[in-house]
Amino acid sequence: MSTALPSLGFAGIGLMGLPMCRRLLAAGYPLTVWNRSPEKCAELVAAGAKLAHSPAELSRGSDMVLLCLADTAVVREVVFGEQGVVHGGRSGQLLIDFSSLEPTATREMAAEVAALCGMAWLDAPVSGGTPGAEAGTLAIMVGGEPSDLERARPILLTLGQRVTHMGAVGAGQVTKACNQMIVACNALVIAEVVALAERSGVDATLIAEALAGGFADSKPLQILAPQMAESRFEPIKWHVRTLLKDLDGAVKFSREQGSATPVTALAAQLMRLHGSQGNLQKDPATLVELYRNKE
């Protein structure tokens, strides 16, 4: 006996949201989409999705509301604004937030949503970038009630290869902050390595191959080092501004918790310097330009 799939509303059709929605449609989920710039929804509507004209309308027509938005301020506006999700929300609904947000703000918003309309909240930030979103191989770290996660698990496994319950609401965002700390610091060191190799007369395009399988190996090394060495900065798969936002959030949260994160704080300042040179909307592979000889 077949069971009808829950209807999904997805807000945020960007670099990650678009391929995630493609996968949900391909899996047969009834999908309604909303984006601040509605033209970004055109491909999905042509593929069978419905278009909502506000987050409230999106929420009213969906069993579960999925968010993949830029930052905490945007999520707060989409959820609590004049035509926000809560105005169409109801008890029994589930909000799944794939965005990377501040953990403290996530906990506060989840409590407020529950009080206003009874919706449950899962914070489910993802790692794996656009290639992972396209292939359905994202790593998804989840905070929330175990029963809510079980309701959402089939959807999450359509989008990712690994779903890990990290604890109560907000725990997913703490885990994502840890992820971004490692990724960003790694990216900055890889940029230094590539620039040093180039300046020393070593073929930097061979660095990733030479270090593969050793203790220095990592996915960022295998992806970023060749791109940096070849100055291959497009197509853009993620943005410098995203890493900077996440680093700033990690430093802020660590301060709230009384935890020392000096390396992450330095990484945030280096990322800010790079962004201030016109690179906020560019791929982090451009970080190598910080260290290249500009003479």
CB 25 within 8 A of CB 66: no
Asked if omega into 146 is within 30° of 0 (cis), the reply is: no
DSSP state letter for 290: G
Give catalytic status of residue 176 as yes or no: yes
Residue 10 sits at φ, ψ, to 5 deg, of: -120, 125
Residue 248 sits at φ, ψ, to 5 deg, of: -60, -40
Greatest pairwise CA separation for the chain in angstroms: 70
CA dihedral sign of residues 234, 280, 250, 215: positive
CB 74 within 8 A of CB 102: no
Residues of the chain by 3-state class (helix, strand, coil), percent to 5: 55, 15, 30
Q: How far apart are CA 45 and CA 33, in angstroms?
A: 8
**The one catalytic residue among 40, 50, 176, 219:** 176
Cα Rg of the chain (Å, integer): 20
DSSP state letter for 52: -
CB 8 within 8 A of CB 29: yes
Q: How far apart are CA 245 and CA 272, in angstroms?
A: 9
- Please identify every residue annotated as catalytic: 176
